[in-house]
């Protein structure tokens, strides 16, 4: 194979800016088994800055399509309002209303797993699945 040029002169190497990077993290949320009698741990990938409130917001958004196909669900009511973390306190929106025992466990275990993973805080004595 022969290549021919048409008078285009070579140019020096052109440098550009640094390549963009995306910060990707794995966060844990706790959903309910198909029988709604136990919690199941699910890992989700999230791009961007994360904290404990990020994991709770993922839980509040509900199961993904894949999780729904597996029969997993949640008792945490969905809301368009955001969850915020203030120091060691998670502030839930008022429109979540009263929470069932399983919803409370889902929120607690998700927050504990996230704090352990993201902030390096060890989990307390209560064990989540």
CB 52 within 8 A of CB 114: yes
Burial (0-12, 13-18, 19+ Cβ within 10 Å), 59 = buried
Q: Can you spell out the DSSP letters for 21-62?
A: ---EEEEEEEEE-TTSSSEEEEEEEEES---HHHHHHHHHT-
**Inter-residue contact 62 to 74 (CB < 8 Å):** yes
Q: pLDDT (tens digit, 9 = 90+) per residue, 90-115?
A: 888 888 888 999 999 999 999 888 87
Asked if 46 and 127 touch (Cβ cutoff 8 Å), the reply is no
pLDDT digits (tens, 9 = 90+) for 15-64: 666 655 455 678 999 999 999 999 999 999 888 878 888 999 999 999 99
pLDDT of residue 114: 83
Domain segments of the chain as ranges: 24-119
- Name the pLDDT band for 72 (thresholds 50, 70, 90): very high
Segment holding 102, helix H or strand E? helix 101-114
pLDDT, residue 43, reads 93
């Amino acid at each position: 194979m022969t290549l021919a040029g048409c008078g285009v002169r070579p140019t020096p190497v052109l440098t550009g800016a640094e390549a963009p990077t995306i910060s990707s993290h794995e966060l844990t949320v706790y959903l309910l088994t198909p029988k709604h009698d136990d919690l199941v741990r699910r890992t989700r990938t999230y791009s961007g800055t994360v904290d404990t409130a990020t994991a709770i917001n993922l839980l509040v958004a509900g199961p993904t399509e894949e999780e729904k196909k597996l029969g997993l669900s949640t008792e945490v009511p969905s809301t368009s309002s955001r969850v915020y973390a203030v120091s060691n306190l998670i502030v839930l929106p008022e429109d979540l209303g009263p929470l069932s025992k399983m919803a409370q466990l889902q929120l607690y275990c998700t927050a504990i797993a996230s704090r352990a993973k993201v902030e390096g805080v060890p989990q307390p004595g209560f064990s989540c699945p």
